[in-house]
């Protein structure tokens, strides 16, 4: 490939020369979105006290946020397949930055919920676009590990948000957590000026490959006879992973404070243990996917996650807080590591971003419903029972993996 070849104003670059740069950008993009997302859960106990809200009302906030992410993923995925990964990523980060900052000025549940929905519509798109861009710039032997490294931002982001809880909220109130999004502006400028478009997308878009189809991608094609199987299985895969995770994790800060009697500081320390475990979990999933294969990894580890969720819900005591929090973090969070790689490899370049977005987006509908349902049910049976019930989702995740294609070593077209 000619490094300086120009296609319709875009430079057709050698992907191997930009892999690390794309990795860093994808990591930072996901980092800022995770800070914005986790700020809602971490600030929820404080907002609940300030506004006198019930569990069910906090559940509404989380539901609006995740519902926005679901719709956003379904919208931004096809946009990235039509206009390009780079342009869509810039638009997406700018969009959610505006609405996240606006959240800081809310004065009631209604305005807060609406703005979280609008912000979520941007947050839901960023993950899929960034993951698609990185997938298309990385060779098959490192693809799962690199997407897992990006997912580590899913732990770094909440950890940074936790620092905000500990050091900003006592001085500047919870609103300061959302104003932090102003730091996204330099990242947006850098992507626009320094990051190239995906060569795979350019060649597909402008008909430079033997199998290229220059017709615009259509979302409805996912339901054609050619793609219906990977589409439906990937959708259920996303539903179980996201529904199981958010059904439990959206309520963990409240669970630790309300049912386990921890204060804000102790709750934050336990959340750090979960996040620290998640970092190891991401690497574990990515490493195993590249070494033993995607299918085997996603058959074995979700079953272990099921057990860890039950332990967290029903076996947590002052004596085992450290061990169980850490193990739960490793397994429940690590599952996201190479998820985009596994799902994206089920689809060709023309529909890769849309396929990932479909899995991620529909999954977020489940993620949006779960916190609201748990908020209602928890008032009768408690949060422990509701969190424990989420263990069943991971059994279905394993069944999905059995039906998906093994893609270890696959060269993308």
In DSSP terms, 10 is beta-bridged to: 7
Predicted confidence (pLDDT) per residue in 34-76, tens digit:
888 888 877 888 888 889 988 778 878 877 887 888 899 889 9
Per-residue pLDDT, 177: 85
110 within a domain of the structure (yes/no): yes
DSSP assignments along 331-374, one per residue: HHHHTTTTHHHHHHTTS-HHHHHHHHHHHHHHHHHHHHHHHHHH
Share of the chain above pLDDT 70, in %: 96
Angle at 59 between CA 399 and CA 336, to 5 degrees: 35
Are 34 and 154 in contact, with CB atoms under 8 Å apart?
yes
Would 344 be classed as within a structural domain? Answer: yes
Do 382 and 376 touch, CB atoms closer than 8 A? no
| Tens-digit pLDDT profile for residues 203-257 | 888 876 655 455 667 788 888 998 999 999 999 999 999 999 988 888 888 888 8
How many distinct helices (H) and strands (E) make up the chain?
A: 19, 2
Domain presence at residue 408: no
Residue 1 has pLDDT above 50, yes or no: no
User: Is residue 399 a part of any domain in this protein?
Assistant: yes
| pTM (predicted TM-score) | 0.78
3-state secondary structure of 297: helix
Give the pLDDT band (50/70/90) at residue 194. very high
Report if residue 315 sits inside a domain.
Answer: yes
What's 391's domain CATH number?
Answer: 1.20.1250.20
To 10 degrees, what angle do helices 143-151 and 19-51 make? Answer: 30
208: helix, strand or coil: coil
Q: Is residue 5 part of a domain?
A: no
- List, in order, residues 6 or more apart from 319 with CB less than 8 Å away: none
> Looking at the 3D structure of the chain, how many domains does it have?
1
| Digit-coded pLDDT (tens) for 373-386 | 888 888 888 888 99
Averaged pLDDT for residues 389-413: 91
Q: What whole-number distance in Å separates Cα of residue 48 and Cα of residue 185? A: 31
Q: Using DSSP, state whether 198 is helix, strand or coil.
A: coil
Q: Note down the domain range covering 252.
A: 16-206+214-403
Give me the helices (H) in 138-182, please: 143-151, 153-167, 169-172, 176-179
pLDDT, one tens digit per residue, over 274-330 is: 888 988 999 999 999 999 999 999 999 999 999 999 999 898 887 888 899 999 999
């Amino acid at each position: 490939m000619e490094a300086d070849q120009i296609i319709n104003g875009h430079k057709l670059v050698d992907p191997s020369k930009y892999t690390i740069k794309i990795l860093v950008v994808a990591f930072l993009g996901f980092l800022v979105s995770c800070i914005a997302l986790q700020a809602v859960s971490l600030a929820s106990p404080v907002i609940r006290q300030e506004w006198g809200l019930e569990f069910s009302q906090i559940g509404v906030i989380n539901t609006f946020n995740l519902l926005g992410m679901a719709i956003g993923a379904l919208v931004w995925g096809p946009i990235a397949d039509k206009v390009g990964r780079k342009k869509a990523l810039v638009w997406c980060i700018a969009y959610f930055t505006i609405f996240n900052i606006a959240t800081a000025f809310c004065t009631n549940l209604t305005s807060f919920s609406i703005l979280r929905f609008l912000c979520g519509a941007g947050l839901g798109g960023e993950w899929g676009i960034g993951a698609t861009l990185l997938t298309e710039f990385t060779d098959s032997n490192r693809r799962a590990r690199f997407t897992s490294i990006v997912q580590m931002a899913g732990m770094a982001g909440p950890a940074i948000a936790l620092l905000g809880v500990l050091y900003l909220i006592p001085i500047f109130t919870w609103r300061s957590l959302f104003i932090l999004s102003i730091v996204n502006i330099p990242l947006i400028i850098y992507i626009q000026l320094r990051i190239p478009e995906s060569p795979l997308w350019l060649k597909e878009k402008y008909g430079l490959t033997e199998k290229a189809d220059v017709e615009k991608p259509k979302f409805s094609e996912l339901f054609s006879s050619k793609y219906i199987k990977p589409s439906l299985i990937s959708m259920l895969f996303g539903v179980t992973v996201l529904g199981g995770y958010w059904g439990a994790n959206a309520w963990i800060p409240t669970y630790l404070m309300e049912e386990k009697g921890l204060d804000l500081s102790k709750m934050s320390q336990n959340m750090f243990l979960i996040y620290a475990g998640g970092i190891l979990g991401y690497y574990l999933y990515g490493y195993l996917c590249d070494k033993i294969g995607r299918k085997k990894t996603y058959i074995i580890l979700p079953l272990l996650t099921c057990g860890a969720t039950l332990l967290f819900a029903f076996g947590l005591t002052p004596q085992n807080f450290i061990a169980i929090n850490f193990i739960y973090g490793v397994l429940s969070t690590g599952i996201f590591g190479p998820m985009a790689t596994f799902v994206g490899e089920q689809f060709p370049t023309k529909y890769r971003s849309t396929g990932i977005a479909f899995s991620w987006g529909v999954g977020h509908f489940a993620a949006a419903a779960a916190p609201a349902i748990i908020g209602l049910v928890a008032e009768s049976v408690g949060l422990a029972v509701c969190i424990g019930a989420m263990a069943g989702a991971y059994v279905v995740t394993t069944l999905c993996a059995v039906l998906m294609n093994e893609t270890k070593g696959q060269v993308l077209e």
